[in-house]
Each structure stands twice: as C-alpha cells, then as structure tokens.
Amino acid sequence: MSNGFSPGSKPAAGPDPTQVQPPSLWRELGLERAPAPSYSQLLQQLRHGQGPQRIKDLELSMAQRQVTVRYADGRRVQVPVFNNDQLLLRTAQEARIPLSVRDDRQDEAMAGLVANGLLLLLLLGGLALLIRRSAQVANRAIGFGRSQARVVEAEAAVPVRFEDVAGINEAKEELQEVVTFLKEPERFTAVGARIPKGVLLVGPPGTGKTLLAKAIAGEAGVPFFSMAASEFVELFVGVGASRVRDLFRRAKEKAPCIVFIDEIDAVGRQRGAGIGGGNDEREQTLNQLLTEMDGFADNSGVILLAATNRADVLDAALMRPGRFDRRIHVDLPDRRGREAILAVHARSRPLAAEICLADWASRTPGFSGADLSNLLNEAAILTARREQSCIDEQAMHDALERITMGLTAAPLQDSAKKRLIAYHEIGHALLTTLLPAADRLDKVTLLPRAGGVGGFARTMPDEDVLDSGLISKAYLQARMVVAMGGRAAELLVFGPSEITQGASGDLELVSRIGREMVTRYGFSSLGPLALESDGAEVFLGRDWLRAEPHYSRETGNRIDAQVQQLARQALDQALSMLRPRRALMDELVDLLIERETIDGDLFVAVVQRTVCGDEAPALALSRTIS
C-alpha cells in the first residue's frame, strides 16, 4: 500500500468553498466571509430584521465611532456611525434591541499619557548622557596639561637591581654615585659638593639604558617618575610646557626623587632646525624643560635622568653643565660583559651542562644586551618546540643562525646551481683561512635561508679589533679580498661568461670599504686627507638631500679611480691565491655538497694540512672527516 497519490485512486475530498454549506459549518471551518451592512441597511435591519438578519444586541464605541452588531446566528460585524448618533439610538429603542455604550476614550487618553511619558523620559535620558559626556570632555580638557608620568613610590618594590644589570660596569659605577647622593646627601654637602641636576645615558639601542634607570629606581629607595619624551608633545600649543611644569611641581613635592625621561631626543632636539623653523610646540616644551632644570626657581633634590641614542641632535643649551652635569656612555659589552649578561638571562632558563657561556660570549661579538637576551629566548622557544627539558648546544646554534641569517629554507637539490653556490662559498671560506689579517672562519654552509640567501661563509670578527676600535689597513684589505673570493671562484671554475649576480652584496661591501679607505682614512695615493665624513643632515633628510662635496670634480674623479683600483687589486689577489689551489677547491666543494655544512675548525684543519704539503688533498680530507 502507498500513502501517496496514484492515478487510479481518488483523493480524499476536503471542504470545497464553492459548494453550498450550512452556516454553522462555515463558522466551524473558519470560511465565513459575511460582508458588513451599510448604515442604512443597519437601520433597516433594526426595524424589520427577521431570521438570520435579526439583530440580537448592539455595542457602541464612542472613541472609535462605530457600533458592533451581533446577529442571532452569532455573526459579529462592525459598522461606522456618526458622532452622537441620535437616530441610531431611537431606532434601537423603538425595535427594543439592547444597546450598550463603551466609553474607551479614557483608555486611549491613558495610553497617550503613557506614550508621552516614555518619550519625555527618553529625552531626559539623552540629555543626561550628553551632559555627562560634556563633563568628561571638560575634565579631560582641564587635565590635558597634567603630566602623564608614572610614579613609583619609595615603598614600592621594584624588582630590578644593579646586580641584574651586567656588561656595563663603568656606567653602573657612575650611577651608583647618584644613588649614594640620594641616600646620604650629607656626605657630599659637608665638603661643598652639590647633587648633579641631570644625568644623560647615551648609547646604541639595546645596551641597557632603560634597564639602568629601573635599577636606579630599585636601589635608590626614593620616588621615581618615569615618562617618555613623546608624551610631552601634543597637537595643542602649550600642552607640552604645561606638562613639564606639572611634572617638576609633583617631583619637588616628593624631593629627593628621580625623574626619568626616555628617548629625550624627541623633545630635546636643536631649536630652529629643519625647514620652516621647526615645531613651535616642541620648542616651547624644550624651553620650559631648560627653565625647570636650571632657572630662577630652586630645583634641589630632583635629579633628571634621561636616555637617548641620538646625542648628536640634542640642543647645546640642554647639554651644558648645570643641566646635564654627567654624560654616561653605555657602549656595547665586551666579551666578559657578554658572558655576564648571558649568565643573568640564564638564571631563569634551564641550560644543558655542555653549554659554556664563555664560548658563546666569544661567538657573539658586537651583540648588545637585548641581542643576547633574544638569543637565549629564541633558544628556549626552539627547545619547547622540540619538547626538550633543557637548552642544548644545537638549540643555541639554531637560534644564533636564525637571528643573524634568518629562517632556514628548504635544502637545495643536487644540481648545477648547488655546485655553483658551493664554489662561491668555498672561495670566501678558503681566502678567510689563508689571509692572516682576515677574521676567523666560524662555518660554511649550503643550507639556504629565507630571503634568497643560498649559502654563506660566516666569520667571527677579531675581539681585539672590536674592543680597541682601531682598524688597520691590512685588515680592510683582507676584508676586500675575502669579499671578492666568491666572484674569483666563479671566474676560475665557470669562466667570465658564466659569472652570476650572487656577488652583488660582496661588491657593495668592497665599494664601501674602498671609498672609506680613500676618503676617510687616507689609505691611498691621494694622501692623508679626510675628504668625507660619516655625518649626515638629520633634520633635512639624510637620505633625500645630500650636501655638496667639499672637493672639486677632478678630485672626485681621482677618488673614483682609487676605489676602482683597490677593488681590482682585491680581485686580482683573490684570483692569484685561488688559482694554484684549484684541486683543493674541488675537494672542499665535494665535501661541502656531501655534508652541506663544514665547521670552521674542520675547514681550517683541512686547509692547513693541504697547504703545508704534508699530504694530498683527498687523503687530508678523508683523515680529517674520520
């Protein structure tokens, strides 16, 4: 059996509205659609209504001006009537039909009153909200000139101490005297000494200037106000100066105290610099700061501590004694300093027993405190990703390469491109090993890095050169020869027509070093002349507007010729050193392709055994690998 419709069966018939049905059935089925009578028909039905047309009763609505008619069969219809219709009343009375009157005007009046009350409440609520917002804006406008400094009270516990700051011992000693000034001022006032009004911390980014300020706040035990210089300057004129006044007023109330302004070069730049005379609002702020530091008003007990890495752009009036009495240089840490910084950051990280912090301090020359902190943090992230319990040497190696060279890309497949890159990097690494004045080779690898680096030969700068800051002519020439090693290897192996653009970065380095040797250091036939400087116009756009050189066009042509000569000499020397060692290059390239990475010590050992002539290259390689 099927419940659906089939052609041979007749569906169950429902009520058909077209068929005549009894009135009771119409009402039960909800199909009643009786039309309402007109006014005249209503009066006629009142007088002569019989059967279904007989009216049972009436209900008159005064507010809606209509009458509800109920017939004897139960039907109900509504008929509009006139206001105060006397005819309808007399007709219903004569026909003896009950008529009731419903006065709903009071209900409508009450509903209107409620609606008006709700509208009034809505208006009052909106008005109250506007008044409240206006009051908030007014309060902000009144407090716009107040300083936004964060205050650390003397009783508050600042977790940073001098023992948490490592690698900058000289700066710590200078600032420890400032702390002693605040704790025991009578020791210095007894001999006529006065507390310094300002201390300026100058150094490269990431060397720990802000960390030193936090250490002072933790050691001094006095109120500490900290604020960024950019928070003084706003769009409205006079706000910065007002905030400076408010800051020093609050500081004097809590004297002795320390006020720390970070990145003070944002507000302390030279006045009147730049196109159009500079920013008037910034200059007003600077003038107010100069007055507060050393003006007619006494400012005893308030020490201004500021930090910047652009001391060359600060206004001369700000730098004079009486305002910033001390200027402390926070330089990059040396090897011992880096070891101490690594030890501080290693307190909260589990290190494997095989890790020697002294070795890693030697492998990170030129790193700041922030760089070293980032190194250990990246190593900890890699350790957690590998689901290990402590940081090992491999994690440190990978973190260092990730910071210095970038993320590791997919390894190259064995192809002509991989062999070309191998010869290029072996050229750099081999010259680094052969030249006595060059840097020490750390590793050479074919593992590519994100950003288009197919491989690299990493060197470690000489620590003595970095610490002393004295660079010899032999060292610069060795760097140029090493940089030309990749191009020289391509020329020897593949010929002049097959060299690639892979040496573009090396050529830029050679050009820069050669120009500095000629124009700044006097390492050329032009003589001991400083024809250019490393200064730049920081206000007019050092990358857009360049000052005219102080030498003639003829001298400029001679400079270009000297730079070209130094570059050619470096390439010729690289070719002359690599040409007789072609067999060694082939062996090293095969080893590099096989292992993809060669450690610097292993590479140097292979080269030394081969260059000394004690063993054949292949035998030296096999013994060293084993």
Q: Would you state the pLDDT for residue 423?
A: 92
Average pLDDT over every residue of 163-185: 80
pTM more than 0.75 = no
Q: Would you state the pLDDT for residue 253?
A: 84
Q: List every span in the chain annotated with CATH 1.10.8.60.
A: 335-404
Cβ atoms < 10 Å from Cβ of 233: 17
Q: Would you state the pLDDT for residue 152?
A: 65
- Binned at pLDDT 50, 70 and 90, residue 412 comes out as low
State pLDDT tens for residues 587-618.
Answer: 999 888 888 888 888 888 888 877 665 444 44
- Binned at pLDDT 50, 70 and 90, residue 564 comes out as very high
- Residue 145: CA atoms inside 13 Å, Cβ hemisphere, count? 12
- Binned at pLDDT 50, 70 and 90, residue 410 comes out as low
Q: Could you tell me if 243 and 147 are in contact, meaning their C-beta atoms sit under 8 angstroms apart? A: yes
| pLDDT above 70: percentage of residues in the chain | 77
Q: What is the CATH number of domain 150-329?
A: 3.40.50.300
- Binned at pLDDT 50, 70 and 90, residue 219 comes out as confident
Q: Which of 281, 339, 425, 490 is catalytic?
A: 425
| Residue 455 DSSP label | -
Region of 613 (left: φ > 0; alpha: ψ -120 to 50; beta: rest) is left
In the block, residue with structure tokens 């300002």: 198
- Binned at pLDDT 50, 70 and 90, residue 375 comes out as very high
Q: List every span in the chain annotated with CATH 3.30.720.210.
A: 23-105
Domain 335-404, CATH among 1.10.760.10, 3.40.800.20, 3.30.450.20, 1.10.8.60 = 1.10.8.60
Instruction: Check whether 510 has a pLDDT greater than 90.
Output: yes
Average pLDDT over every residue of 399-422: 79
Instruction: Check whether 144 has a pLDDT greater than 50.
Output: no
Instruction: Check whether 623 has a pLDDT greater than 80.
Output: no
| Residue 240 DSSP label | H
Q: What is the CATH number of domain 416-533+549-625?
A: 1.20.58.760
Average pLDDT over every residue of 33-61: 74
In this structure, of 23-27, 294-298, 525-529, the range with the lowest mean pLDDT score is: 23-27
Q: Would you state the pLDDT for residue 157?
A: 59
Q: Which is more confident, 488 or 453?
A: 488
Q: Would you state the pLDDT for residue 129?
A: 85
Rounded Cα distance between 52 and 404, Å, is: 102
Q: Which is more confident, 603 or 103?
A: 603
State pLDDT tens for residues 257-284.
Answer: 888 888 888 888 887 655 444 456 778 8
Q: Would you state the pLDDT for residue 170?
A: 79
State pLDDT tens for residues 112-134.
Answer: 788 888 888 888 888 888 887 76
Instruction: Check whether 563 has a pLDDT greater than 70.
Output: yes
**One-letter amino acid of 525:** S
Q: Please confirm, yes or no, whether 170 is among the known catalytic residues.
A: no
* Parallel, antiparallel or unpaired: strands 597-599 and 440-445: antiparallel
> What are the φ/ψ torsions at residue 116 (nearest 5 degrees)?
-65, -35
Q: Which residues contact 621 (CB under 8 A, 6 or more apart)?
A: 587, 588, 591, 606
What rounded mean pLDDT belongs to the chain?
A: 78
Q: Would you state the pLDDT for residue 158?
A: 64
Q: Which helix (H) or strand (E) holds 77?
A: strand 76-80
Helices (H) and strands (E) in the chain, counts: 23, 13
**CATH topology for 23-105?**
3.30.720
Q: Would you state the pLDDT for residue 89?
A: 79
- Binned at pLDDT 50, 70 and 90, residue 135 comes out as low
- Binned at pLDDT 50, 70 and 90, residue 8 comes out as very low
- Binned at pLDDT 50, 70 and 90, residue 50 comes out as low
Residue 507 tokens read as: 């050529």
Instruction: Check whether 352 has a pLDDT greater than 80.
Output: yes
Q: Could you tell me if 99 and 58 are in contact, meaning their C-beta atoms sit under 8 angstroms apart? A: yes
In the block, residue with structure tokens 């500095």: 516
Average pLDDT over every residue of 509-534: 87
* Parallel, antiparallel or unpaired: strands 150-152 and 597-599: unpaired
Instruction: Check whether 349 has a pLDDT greater than 50.
Output: yes
In the block, residue with structure tokens 């000139």: 145
Q: List every span in the chain annotated with CATH 1.20.58.760.
A: 416-533+549-625
